[in-house]
């Protein structure tokens, strides 16, 4: 289970609020991640689809001049989503089979409390079953879930730790580090 890279969640929060205030600063996120990709020797275009999606979202926030809680969750999700792709690609470069997976695609379901969502009990069995189908090492996004209507939610600060505990419980792990 991975979190966003150091400082990225705060950066994403800043660019989302800036977009609502009339300034588009998404390039700060792209520069930060492209620098990381270069340092790790990974392909510079690995995250381009995420940048495109993020910039479109920020553009909509900019046009409306306001940031809804659901949009904030979606903007913040890019930190974990991009981190999972970077970590999985780094593991592959080291010769390991690794697959990036969004926790919500494993069946992590939450209530609809954007910014501080709570996982629902039915998630455990869904996650347990879905993890069996992931090839190699699953590199799972922390912090993220979807509500029963399919809307992306975040589990609040330290939500990646909660996700790790949920994943450990689902697979019957004897230890979580």
**Pairing mode, if any, of strands 98-101 and 137-140?**
parallel
**Backbone torsions φ then ψ of 53, nearest 5 degrees:** -65, -45
Q: How far apart are CA 177 and CA 165, in angstroms?
A: 9
Cα–Cα distance, 131 to 112 (Å, whole number): 24
Residues in a beta bridge with 150: none
Give per-residue pLDDT as tens, 89-121: 999 999 999 999 999 999 999 999 999 999 999
The pTM of the full predicted model, rounded to 2 decimals, is 0.94
Q: Is 59 in a helix, a strand, or coil?
A: helix
pLDDT tens sequence across 68-88: 999 999 999 999 999 999 999
Neighbours of 116 (CB within 10 A): 14
Distances (CA, A) of 109 to 70, 121, 142, 149, 156: 15, 8, 13, 10, 14
């Amino acid at each position: 289970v991975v979190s966003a890279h150091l400082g990225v969640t705060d950066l994403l929060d800043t660019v989302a609020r800036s977009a609502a205030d009339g300034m588009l600063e998404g390039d700060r996120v792209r520069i930060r991640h492209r620098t990381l990709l270069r340092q790790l020797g990974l392909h510079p275009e690995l995250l381009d689809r995420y940048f495109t999606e993020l910039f479109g979202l920020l553009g909509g926030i900019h046009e409306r001049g306001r940031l809804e809680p659901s949009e904030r969750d979606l903007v913040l999700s890019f930190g974990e989503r991009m981190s999972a792709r970077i970590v999985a690609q780094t593991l592959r470069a080291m010769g390991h089979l690794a697959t990036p997976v969004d926790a919500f695609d494993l069946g992590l379901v939450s209530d609809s409390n954007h910014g501080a969502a709570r996982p629902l009990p039915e998630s455990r069995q869904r996650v347990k079953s879905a993890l069996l189908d992931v090839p190699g090492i699953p590199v799972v996004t922390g912090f993220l879930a979807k509500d029963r209507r399919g809307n992306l939610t975040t589990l609040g600060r330290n939500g990646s730790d909660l996700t790790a505990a949920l994943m450990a419980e689902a697979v019957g792990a004897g230890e979580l580090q």
